[in-house]
Amino acid sequence: MALETDLSPDKKKLTIRVKGRFDFGKHAQFKQVYEGLRLESVVVDLKDATYLDSSALGMLLLLRDYVGGNEPDIRVVHASPDVRKILAISNFEQLFDIS
């Protein structure tokens, strides 16, 4: 499976682990893992992500809007140097906690 998830017992914290390419091919599955939940925080773990494109950036923005708009608790963790560069060029460190 391209995405793995862990949902806390209270269903308020979700961890999404992306494996392989994070691109439009994961759009439906990515949206499906959080839709319908009332989340307080999300961790997007990119440790095993090998590639990230503009549709992945769009998916992160949709997730941000879903979780809380301007004040979401979303962390993007374990991004490779190449993926971090894409996030930096896109100014996503202004929108997400990236570590």
pLDDT for residue 1: 54
pLDDT for residue 72: 84
**Residues 25-42 pLDDT 10s:** 999 999 999 999 999 999
**Whether 65 contacts 38, CB under 8 Å:** no
Number of domains in the chain: 1
For the chain, give the mean pLDDT.
Answer: 93
Domain hosting 57: range is 2-98
Handedness of CA 85, 87, 88, 90 (dihedral sign): positive
**Residues 52-90 pLDDT 10s:** 999 999 999 999 999 987 788 999 999 999 899 999 999
Query: CATH number for the domain including 44?
Result: 3.30.750.24
With CA atoms as reference, report the closest residue to 31 among 42, 40, 20.
Answer: 42
